Amino acid sequence: MRSLSFLLLLLGCLASTVALGRLVQPDGSTTALAEESGAGSVTFLFPPRAVEVRSWVVLPRGSVSEVVVAALGSRFVVGFPAVAAPGMRFALEVPAHVLSLTVKGRLGNGRTLVRTVSRPGAPGEAWVTRSPGELTIDLPPWRAAGGYTPVLSLVRSSASPWHAVFSDSRQSRSFTFQASVNQWSFAPAAWGFVPLRLEVTGDDPGLAEVRVRALGPEAELPADPRTMLAWPVDAWRSPRREWFNWTGTSVVVLVTSDYRVQDDYLKRLAFYIEKFGYRGRLVPDTDLAGLHGWNAHDYAAPDLARFYTQAAREQFTLNPSEVELRTRLTAAGVLVDRGGGLWDPGVGALVGISAASPPALRAVLLTHEGFHGLYFTSKEFQAGVKSAWDSLSEGARGAFRSFLAVSQYDPDDEPLMVNEFQAYLLQRPASDWPPFLRQRVLGRSTEGQALTWLAEYLEAARRLDALVHSLYGLRSGTISTVTP
């Protein structure tokens, strides 16, 4: 009687499903699978002992977004990225004694699963293969048309550290990402090859989207600071300069081939916004000719809008580079054109460095200016820096103002003093704070003053370091959350 009850129960379960699926085993034999269809998903029910060992299952053709795996003693969800490539196949490593796979996505009419012992895929074929600790994407050969810049863009939805290896048949590049990095682009022009394979590992190796893009000649190139520094000048779209959009921020970065070109774009801005004795004045080229600007630059959207609005009102003739800069900033949303020569601040900031700086100095300058860019675009960062500045005694603040005044910063511009305070400290690692402060800032102070003010500076620097770590996952001395 008990056997009859079990048989009736089994027949009842099978009656609620349709045995349309099948599993092709490694030896070529087939196993029938029961199948349940739901809204946007198909569940494949495996008979006992259909999968005796851990192995790979090639999923039905179509696009797969997620698979829910049920096995003896476990149940877990595996996500698949959206990959815009023709003929993409999807495969999943499943545990022994798998009971069911619920496949979500847009599947074709076929309901055949293929089981293999090893990871499927072959060079030149389009595959997404997923195991609990790794995601691998194989792309067919790809390139951008002439005049366009190819990038492989990744979007991630989870928040945990991850690691990625990009490779072709001859070379590879490895990158480690902090948890805060949820979008990133591999640029073949910067790293020297077009990747055909991407391997992602970590506690959660999932990606939400993988997309090959061809960027036009007028687009800002998405890049993190390490990519910007690695991008060779001979791969720029113009021999004079290149435009980057700092990934994950609203900061536009201009890199120029030399200081002369940098001056064409930014020298007048430097005097108008920051230089003592010149602030608020549009200085003609003839007066600027014998003056030094900066080796690197940073500007907030409100100051940029004020500069271009005043130039229009005074009918001041800007040079072609300054006009190009205005066009770029408007396209990026840093400036908003109100018409009639009036400009409003948008969202974002501008940073400028030059490839003429030696590599080590260029990295330091980009770090300094990058912290300015983050400061301009975050009220929380600004408030934290102001609090650290206000914690200093008047004597300590005065000593730092004097240090900045030597470099032609206007000491009466209190917001500028606060901003430069954080950038000069955060541009260097914590181990370099004491020698920098003793030699550059406190050199003219008495011994007693120097000891007191040094302690104040170091406490403020520790607060700043903790602040950027909490906001961006950064530490003093770097603006990169990506390690090649």
Per-residue pLDDT tens over the stretch 379-433: 999 999 999 999 999 999 999 999 999 988 889 999 999 999 999 999 999 999 9
**Residue 131, domain member (yes or no):** no
Indicate the number of domains in the chain. 4
Query: What pLDDT was estimated at residue 15?
Result: 43
223 neighbors 245 (Cβ within 8 angstroms): yes
Judgement on whether residues 31 and 118 belong to the same structural domain of the protein: yes
**Residue 11, domain member (yes or no):** no
**Residue 183, domain member (yes or no):** yes
**Residue 6, domain member (yes or no):** no
**Token pair for 62:** 């179509």
Judgement on whether residues 228 and 355 belong to the same structural domain of the protein: yes
**Residue 127, domain member (yes or no):** no
Judgement on whether residues 438 and 466 belong to the same structural domain of the protein: yes
Query: What pLDDT was estimated at residue 158?
Result: 87
Domain boundary among 178, 201, 216: 216
Domain boundary among 189, 216, 243: 216
152 neighbors 212 (Cβ within 8 angstroms): yes
Q: What is the pLDDT of residues 158-190, one digit of tens each?
A: 899 999 999 999 999 999 999 999 999 999 999
Q: What is the 3-state secondary structure (H, E, C) of the chain?
A: CHHHHHHHHHHHHHHCCEEEEEEECCCCCEEEEEEEEECCEEEEECCCCCCCCCEEEECCCEEEEEEEEEECCEEEEEECCEECCCCCEEEEEECCCEEEEEEEEEECCCCEEEEECCCCCCCCCCEEEEECCEEEEECCCCCCCCCCEEEEEEECCCCCCEEEEEECCCCEEEEEECCCCCEEEECHHHHCCCCCEEEEEECCCCCCEEEEEEECCCCCEEECHHHHHHCCHHHCCCCCEEEEEECCCCEEEEEECCHHHHHHHHHHHHHHHCECCCCCCCCCHHHHCCCCCCCCEEEEHHHHHHHHHHHHHCCCCCCHHHHHHHHHHHHHCCEEEEECCEEEECCCEEEEEECCCCHHHHHHHHHHHHHHHHHHCCHHHHHHHHHHHHCCCHHHHHHHHHHHHHCCECCCCHHHHHHHHHHHHHCCCHHHHHHHHHHHHCCCCCHHHHHHHHHHHHHHHHHHHHHHHHHHCCCCCCCCCEEC
Judgement on whether residues 253 and 343 belong to the same structural domain of the protein: yes
Query: What pLDDT was estimated at residue 11?
Result: 35
Judgement on whether residues 467 and 399 belong to the same structural domain of the protein: yes
Judgement on whether residues 242 and 335 belong to the same structural domain of the protein: yes
- Which residue segment(s) compose the domain that 411 sits in? 378-483
**Residue 291, domain member (yes or no):** yes
Report whether pLDDT(81) > 70: yes
Tell me what percent of the residues of the chain surpass a pLDDT of 70: 96
Average pLDDT estimate for 306-333: 97
> 113 has which bridge partners?
23
Query: What pLDDT was estimated at residue 110?
Result: 80
Domain boundary among 175, 199, 216: 216
**Residue 4, domain member (yes or no):** no
CA distance linking residue 468 with residue 390, whole number of Å = 18
Judgement on whether residues 349 and 243 belong to the same structural domain of the protein: yes
Q: What is the pLDDT of residues 35-58, one digit of tens each?
A: 998 888 999 999 999 999 999 999
Query: What pLDDT was estimated at residue 18?
Result: 55
Judgement on whether residues 161 and 205 belong to the same structural domain of the protein: yes
Strand ranges of the sheet holding 209-215, from the earlier edge strand across to the other edge: 82-83, 209-215, 149-155, 183-186
Judgement on whether residues 352 and 384 belong to the same structural domain of the protein: no
pLDDT band at 19 (very low <50, low <70, confident <90, very high): low
Judgement on whether residues 299 and 243 belong to the same structural domain of the protein: yes
Q: What is the 3-state secondary structure (H, E, C) of 375-444?
A: HHCCHHHHHHHHHHHHCCCHHHHHHHHHHHHHCCECCCCHHHHHHHHHHHHHCCCHHHHHHHHHHHHCCC
Tell me what percent of the residues of the chain surpass a pLDDT of 90: 87
Report whether pLDDT(8) > 50: no
In this structure, are strands 127-131 and 89-94 parallel, antiparallel, or unpaired?
parallel
Judgement on whether residues 88 and 160 belong to the same structural domain of the protein: no
**Residue 366, domain member (yes or no):** no
Query: What pLDDT was estimated at residue 407?
Result: 86
156 neighbors 181 (Cβ within 8 angstroms): yes
Judgement on whether residues 468 and 390 belong to the same structural domain of the protein: yes
